[in-house]
Amino acid sequence: MHYFVMAHDERDFEADGARWDHWDSYRIASDFKSSDIRRTVQISSKISFAANALVQIMQKSAEKGLIFCKNLVPLNNPDTTMNSSSIDDISNPTTLIPLSPLDLLFVSRLSGFTIGYVLQQGAFSPSSLEAAAIRVLNGWRLLAGWVEFTKNGSYIRVPLGNINLKDRLRFTLETLNVSLDVPDTTHGSAVFPRPSIEFFRDSSVPSNLPAYAETKWPLVSIRITEMTNCFCVGISVPHGVFDIFGFGQIMRGLNAELNGKEWTPPPLFTSNIMKDAFEEGLPSDVSSKEDTSVSTTPSTGPKLDHFPSKSDLVSAATQAFAHFKNTLVPLTSIELIKMFLHSAYERFYHGVETQTVFIDPRTLENMVREVKDEVQASGKGRWVSTNDVLMAWMLKIAHQDEHDNSHKVSAFLTISIRPVLREQLGNPLFDVYTHNSATLAGLPLLTKTEICSMSIADVAYLSRLTIDSVRKDTIFVRSLFPWTNSANQDVVNGKGGLRGVARRSNQSFWSFTSHSIADLEGINFGSDIAALWFWPLPNSFLAPDNGVVFNKFKGGYLVEAVGMRKSRWSKVVKEVERMNSI
């Protein structure tokens, strides 16, 4: 859980960030007649019963002062009724946009994300942003639609006629007589905390697709909090409809409408090309058949001493998918308990924090040049991207001096599958496809000792090999299609198909996602952007730790890490201080 035409360097392992959050006994509207949806709710309820029990334990502990769980709420959704009279008029023409299997992975899982900006005081006008957003909804009518479940499938119903577009935008403005600690990115690299999400997202915004469907909630929610020294601007969308590339297209439209520029809205995919791809599969490709000599279990000990051949890519792709299947497991009651125990251990024994590193342009240039020179000088003949380098840098710094041959690090990249589908299916529309189009792909398992002993260049090269194995060979995608279809069908049939990140005592999970493809800093609000952040929703106690997101920012990069140990943040702070002193 984030893509456009894939170019080198800044547009690499992009996607939607952490997708494995927290689940709910979803309330489906009484007029949903689909037996598939009812069975989905039944299995969700079983899992929710266990999750609710854990929440109650944590809340009771909080009352006794044992733990602090401000962000924990009961798992039943609040009643959030919207005035939707204008869209209930049956005389208004509409069209249905089907959701794909990748989108539907989120039907039974809490789903959503918020991008939040802190703006310096200046010419920013909240009313201008609201008016611009309404014009964007009019130009790209998908955004004026609503989620709809029918007996024939799951869709976005898009209004084509004259409706009150203001009803299709959730816009909130609040003024608070308080100030915010605005990050300073003008004096070199820095580390700063992420502010509270309450300034960027209303608590009433749904976090799952069934709640969006039940209330016909707008797909775009904007919250502006005016403070004494800045503006907080948050934009929320359902992840079951958009990935970060799709979100980037929303921002592109907003920027154009705010600044009097021309823009062309993305097309409406009335015959969802991703859904068609999952149903029809990829064309036959003899050259990409799986090498039966390759193990089907996650490997260790990467080979980094030569330019990867076709067999290397096949092997890497096969291992990456084996790691994928081994990590994303059915969420049984046992797995939920493991998740709770793991989260409690990380949060209350080690202590975790969410902070952001700003790497200034000078430091970034030196870091990337040094690593790229090392890769080329080693004779590997490989190119690595800025994102590869930052991913390797974060892993290396976080695990510095953590020598342990028994503990393995499970590092996943979020990678767009648009390039593979565009090439294999010969359909250029995948370049502008705004719905979910990404997968997680894992590097080979590495022990902490291996990470400590490897250079940043070697880890970066391993990242690039994993990305190329997904993009330049079809084995991973061919395996992903039936796995996703099977997981969705298991949910529908009540067979426990919900998947989440496995928690293992001798293994830690990391996810790395680049949002560079969305160009989130490219919008001109009329005031300077001081910082920006990403929130996968909701902020759950059971969410995986170590979710890392990259964004280009002011010539440098923002590296946001969610739920990382305080001891590791201390190492990052020391490294940033060292880099600033050079």
Q: What is the pLDDT of residues 152-211, one digit of tens each?
A: 888 999 999 889 999 999 999 999 999 999 999 999 999 999 999 999 999 999 988 888
Residue 523, pLDDT > 70, answer yes
Residue 430, CB-side half-sphere exposure with 13 Å CA sphere:
20
Total domain count for the chain? 1
Contact 542, 339 (CB under 8 A): yes
Q: In 10 A of CB 370, how many CB atoms? A: 13
The Cα 470–Cα 314 span in angstroms is 9
User: Rounded to the nearest 5 degrees, what angle is found at the Cα of 526, between the Cα atoms of 520 and 527?
Assistant: 80
The Cα 208–Cα 190 span in angstroms is 35
The Cα 439–Cα 483 span in angstroms is 12
Give the pLDDT score at 187: 92
Give the pLDDT score at 111: 74
Give the pLDDT score at 544: 81
**Structural domain containing residue 219:** 92-258
Mean pLDDT for the chain overall: 82
Looking at residue 445, what DSSP letter applies?
A: P
Give the pLDDT score at 516: 95
User: Burial, 93: exposed, middle or buried (Cβ in 10 Å; 0-12, 13-18, 19+)?
Assistant: exposed
Whether the pTM exceeds 0.75: the reply is yes
Contact 248, 115 (CB under 8 A): no
For tokens 């280009």, the residue is 552
Question: How many separate helices (H) and strands (E) can be counted in the chain?
Answer: 15, 18
Give the pLDDT score at 472: 86
The Cα 356–Cα 194 span in angstroms is 7
Residue 107 lies in a domain: yes
Kindly report the backbone phi and psi dihedral angles of residue 63, in degrees, each rounded to the nearest multiple of 5, phi listed first.
Answer: -60, -30
Confidence class of residue 42 from pLDDT cuts 50, 70 and 90? very low
The Cα 395–Cα 411 span in angstroms is 9
Residue 261, pLDDT > 80, answer yes
pLDDT, average across residues 309-318 = 82
Mind giving me the DSSP string for 87-147? G--TTS-EEEEEPPHHHHTTTTS---EEEEEEEESSS--HHHHHHHHHHHHHHSGGGG-EE
Residue 460 lies in a domain: no
Q: In 10 A of CB 329, how many CB atoms? A: 17
Contact 580, 363 (CB under 8 A): yes
Looking at residue 504, what DSSP letter applies?
A: B
Residue 507, pLDDT > 60, answer yes
475-492 and 310-327 helices, crossing angle to 10° = 20
The Cα 386–Cα 376 span in angstroms is 15
Which of 497, 469, 541, 510 shows the shortest CA–CA distance to 62?
A: 541
User: What are the angstrom distances between the C-alpha of 163 and each of 78, 86, 92, 267, 292?
Assistant: 27, 6, 8, 20, 57
Give the pLDDT score at 370: 95
pLDDT, average across residues 382-403 = 95
Considering the chain, what percentage of its residues have pLDDT values greater than 90? 62
Residue 490 lies in a domain: no
Give the pLDDT score at 524: 98
The Cα 458–Cα 451 span in angstroms is 9
Residue 202 lies in a domain: yes
Residue 289 lies in a domain: no
Give the pLDDT score at 310: 73
Encoded tokens for 360: 């200034």
Confidence class of residue 47 from pLDDT cuts 50, 70 and 90? very low
The Cα 539–Cα 72 span in angstroms is 8
pLDDT, average across residues 13-37 = 33
**pLDDT tens, residue by residue, 60-112:** 433 333 333 322 222 233 333 344 445 666 668 999 999 999 888 755 455 78
Q: In 10 A of CB 427, how many CB atoms? A: 14
Q: In 10 A of CB 460, how many CB atoms? A: 29
pLDDT, average across residues 551-578 = 97
Residue 299, pLDDT > 60, answer no
Order of strands across the sheet that contains 221-226:
170-175, 221-226, 230-237, 113-120, 529-536
Q: Which of 46-55, 318-327, 469-478 has the lowest mean pLDDT?
A: 46-55
Considering the chain, what percentage of its residues have pLDDT values greater than 70? 77
Which of 408, 423, 410, 536 shows the shortest CA–CA distance to 470?
A: 423
Residue 323, pLDDT > 60, answer yes
Give the pLDDT score at 31: 31
What are the residues whose beta carbons fall under 8 Å from the beta carbon of 558, sequence distance 6 or more?
356, 357, 358, 359, 531, 532, 550, 551, 552
Kindly report the backbone phi and psi dihedral angles of residue 165, in degrees, each rounded to the nearest multiple of 5, phi listed first.
Answer: -65, -25
Residue 553 lies in a domain: no
Residue 334, pLDDT > 50, answer yes
For tokens 């990259």, the residue is 550
Residue 386 lies in a domain: no
Please give the biggest Cα pair distance in the chain: 68
Q: What is the CATH number of the domain that holds 249?
A: 3.30.559.10
> Does residue 152 or residue 521 have the better pLDDT?
521
Determine the 3-state secondary structure of 85 from DSSP: helix
What are the residues whose beta carbons fall under 8 Å from the beta carbon of 426, sequence distance 6 or more?
none
Kindly report the backbone phi and psi dihedral angles of residue 143, in degrees, each rounded to the nearest multiple of 5, phi listed first.
Answer: -70, -20
Residue 172 lies in a domain: yes
Q: Is the preceding peptide bond at 538 cis, omega within 30 degrees of 0?
A: yes
The Cα 330–Cα 325 span in angstroms is 10
Confidence class of residue 269 from pLDDT cuts 50, 70 and 90? confident
